[in-house]
Amino acid sequence: MKNLAHELAALRARHQYRTRAVMEGPQGADVVIDGTHYLSFCSNDYLGLANHPRVVEAMRKGAADYGAGSGASHLVTGHQRPHHELETALAAFVRRPRALLFSTGYMANLGTVAALAGRGDRIHEDRLNHASLLDAGLLSGARLQRYPHGDVDALRQHLDADGAGNGLIITDAVFSMDGDVAPLPQLAAIARQHRLMLMVDDAHGMGVLGSTGRGTLEHCGLDMAAVPLLIGTLGKAFGTFGAFVAGEEDLIEFLIQRARPYIYTTALPAAIACATLAAVRLAEDEGWRRDHLRSLIARFREGAQHLGLNLLPSQTPIQPLVVGDSERALAMSAALRERGLYVRAIRPPTVPEGTARLRITLSAAHTEVEVDRLLAALDGVR
């Protein structure tokens, strides 16, 4: 039997022990932890919708109209009117024929990959893909090959060595810990050439990137022929909870038949779907949120460059400051906290060994003055 106390002590010694902060109130620029207010730069609430009055009110009304819980899986009696309407709205948002709602992005990825690939197939994934995509590849039973981050030449070599066969190429659109965008046009060309299906997880681009916020595919000018399989999550820019797969009619119908994490789980509460519908409308109608966010990103990068801070080449709201070792990352996070700022240190195994970092995320909920405060604090603690 595992000696748990021993393993926990080893994690502490490696500065990899994880703890949870208890938040006293809603998500936002200002958060309350242990009775103290902090200016927070570590949510994925990129558009500032998680505590938007219209979204909160939609959830309240959704609960009044549809109850607190769905009471069953989608295929039994859990698929309520708001779930169905949300699927239609999400499909329209990403301009695809159909969308299928999942309870979480983790489940959407597990379910989709394992439904579409199995023993005898192969899956190629970027080495820095989100854990849920890597787990999905393993769970599927297909042969999983990971190519070096963003390295389309290495992927081509793997494929040339492999010969023909059924399979998937899978990538994050925006890498969750680095903030950079995958080389999607090249990946689409490779997938087409090798007759593999390209699956893109746009958890961090959906609602944020593209001139109308439709995500990284809009940003790159790619359509459904180039990327047949698109995953979006709802707990980030849309500020609520859940996820969806979008694509052609047959893909969605197949997933309804075969995606086990879709079939064998309770449908998420309809009130969440109601809130998400409100959030999708806000994301569509209020383009100023993206404009403001883009200007904050530019302001932060310019200020950081001026200070000589070593940022990664990211144009997205994810602006990590790589510091190297975990102990130093924790110390910087603690020093920022003393100055009233909340920025989490992200350590291995979430990121590769030796690349512990402060994962700074910006949101439309921030002001320019707050970004300037962050820059001043970073200057003070490095």
Ligand X SMILES: *Cc1c(COP(=O)(O)O)cnc(C)c1O
**Residues binding ligand X (CB under 6 A):** 104-106, 109, 130, 132, 172, 176, 201, 203-204, 233, 235, 243
Q: How far is the CB of 251 from ligand X (least distance, A)?
A: 18
Contact at 8 Å (CB) between 140 and 114? yes
Backbone angles phi, psi at 334, to 5 degrees: -65, -40
Contacts of 337 (CB under 8 A, 6+ apart): 38
Which residue lies nearer to ligand X by CB, 130 or 344?
130
Catalytic residue among 52, 124, 236, 366: 236
DSSP structure string for 261-289: HHHTSBPPPHHHHHHHHHHHHHHHH-HHH
Q: Is 236 a catalytic residue?
A: yes
d(CA 310, CA 321): 6
Which residue lies nearer to ligand X by CB, 107 or 159?
107
DSSP reduced 3-state for 59: helix
d(CA 357, CA 355): 6
Q: Using CA atoms in the order 148, 151, 152, 157, what is the torsion angle rounded to 10 degrees?
A: -50
Backbone angles phi, psi at 264, to 5 degrees: -100, 45
Q: How far is the CB of 107 from ligand X (least distance, A)?
A: 7
Which residue lies nearer to ligand X by CB, 80 or 176?
176
Catalytic residue among 204, 219, 292, 366: 204
Backbone angles phi, psi at 310, to 5 degrees: -95, 80
Q: How far is the CB of 129 from ligand X (least distance, A)?
A: 7
Contacts of 57 (CB under 8 A, 6+ apart): 278
Q: How far is the CB of 308 from ligand X (least distance, A)?
A: 29
Catalytic residue among 176, 314, 333, 363: 176
Q: How far is the CB of 187 from ligand X (least distance, A)?
A: 15
d(CA 314, CA 44): 15
Which residue lies nearer to ligand X by CB, 133 or 332?
133
d(CA 61, CA 270): 10
Q: Is 61 a catalytic residue?
A: no
Residue whose Cβ sits closest to ligand X? 105
Which residue lies nearer to ligand X by CB, 144 or 332?
144
Q: Would you please indicate which residues are annotated as catalytic (active-site) residues?
A: 176, 204, 236
